[in-house]
Amino acid sequence: MHNLLNQQTDRKYPIPENEKERQAKLESYDILDTLPENEFDSLVELAAIITDSPISLMNLLDHDRQWTKASFGNVEVKSAHRSESVCQYTILQDSSFEVEDLRLDERFKDKSFVTNDPQYRSYSGYPLITPGGLKIGALCVLDFTPKKLNERQKKALKTISGEIVSRLELRKKQKELEQLNKEKDHFLRIVNHDIKSPINGIISAVHYLENMWEGDRKELEQFLSMIRLSGQKLIHYTRELMENSMSIQQAKIRPQDVMVCESISDLIDIYKPLASAKEVTLEFNCLAKNSFFIDEEKFKLILSNLISNALKFTDKNDTISIDAEIIEGSPRLLHVSVTDSGIGIPEHFQTELFTKNKKLQRQGTRGEISTGMGLPLVKEFVDLHNGIIKVNSREGEGSTFHIVLTEQEDN
């Protein structure tokens, strides 16, 4: 039995030691004050049949009340003060709680449901125990005559209470999934709308250059600039779409042997034109000469985000250095750092840098768009490799991002 907190003066019922956590868990199911549901009604009816009881209830213990989600038998009361319940004692137990004759128990003999109608005489209940061990309520059966359940009936009550909690968990997960799908659908509608503008801009500019441009250099530069900016916006939208989709799908790791130096070199080649356009120097020092067993696609996405961010927040004459080394041991570790001499990160941004906080969005040195979603995705992929990521940065002096990935096992 749980230890009890000291009784509060305004409460006349026992309070579990973990009442705050217990209540929070109950609220997370979003089940209180909902309409009857057949999946719970049928389980409560089954409990009555197995125990040969006229009354069976699924009771949830809220702050100061007991609320009945499902019932079998002639039960009219859906809610009662918590101090008037028997289930308040059931949630203090690790197993079943039984009172053979309520009239003979000092705790219940003067309760209205004993002295007046319906004049219950016996009670047997089993706590509704969540996967984390919190007791949010009870499945109970009552009778109008004194009696005790046999061991088979008590075991059945335990099994049914477990099934009730399983259905609560499933119901919660379904609601979470529905909410995620709503958010994803909303995001897709936004992207579908916004992505048309840069595409139309690219098509219009190209059409003009093909059919109408007659050689004015300044005008050509203006249209090329429009194409570049439209392309950047398109990349922004599609990248954000990918990041949201991958987060929702909870990407899994698919490791393979990766030649780290070659993989990083291929990635750097992609960013060389952008670096040249900004007159930023890219340097690469690789000591990771051997292969390393990781998910190459996610490794490249991690590094791509870090290099892209470094380019975004650097400008003319700045330098970006990428360093990689394999640390031998059991398991082996891969350490990669991306250092830039750019504008740095404000100190108050750094504590939430890896969270999806839209307030952390900043424009690059030349107005580049930032979604604020790249680093949270990087953190997710690093975590999938049982790794760590950290940043050292001073505003106005630049930043260094360190990632350490654990080599995966070849299953």
For 196-226, how does the pLDDT look when each residue is reduced to its tens digit (9 = 90+)?
545 655 665 666 666 666 777 676 666 666 6
> Where in the chain are all domains bearing CATH 3.30.450.40?
19-175
DSSP one-letter string for 329-367: SSS-EEEEEEEE-SS---HHHHTTTTS--GGG----TT-
> Where in the chain are all domains bearing CATH 3.30.565.10?
253-411
Note every long-range contact of 244-247, with CB atoms under 8 Å and residues 24 or more positions apart, other chains counting. 244/184, 244/187, 244/373, 245/184, 246/377, 247/376, 247/377, 247/380
Q: How far apart are CA 38 and CA 140, in angstroms?
A: 18
Q: What is the DSSP letter of 4?
A: B
For residue range 301-334, list pLDDT tens digits in order: 788 889 888 988 998 999 999 999 999 999 999 9
- Superfamily of domain 253-411 in the CATH hierarchy: Histidine kinase-like ATPase, C-terminal domain (3.30.565.10)
User: Given a cut of 80, is residue 140 above it in pLDDT?
Assistant: yes
Write down the pLDDT at residue 2: 37
Q: Of 87-96, 181-190, 267-276, which range is least confident?
A: 181-190
Say if CB 363 and CB 325 are below 8 A apart: no
Say if CB 407 and CB 292 are below 8 A apart: yes
User: Which residues partner with 282 through β-bridges?
Assistant: 320
Write down the pLDDT at residue 363: 66
* CATH T-level assignment (fold) for domain 19-175: Beta-Lactamase (3.30.450)
Q: How far apart are CA 262 and CA 266, in angstroms?
A: 6
pTM beyond cutoff 0.95: no
Write down the pLDDT at residue 10: 44
Strand order through the sheet with 319-327: 281-286, 319-327, 333-340, 398-406, 388-394
For residue range 157-166, list pLDDT tens digits in order: 999 999 999 9
Q: What tokens appear for 304 in the block?
A: 């791509």
- Measured over the CA atoms of residue 338, residue 341, residue 342 and residue 344, the dihedral's sign is positive
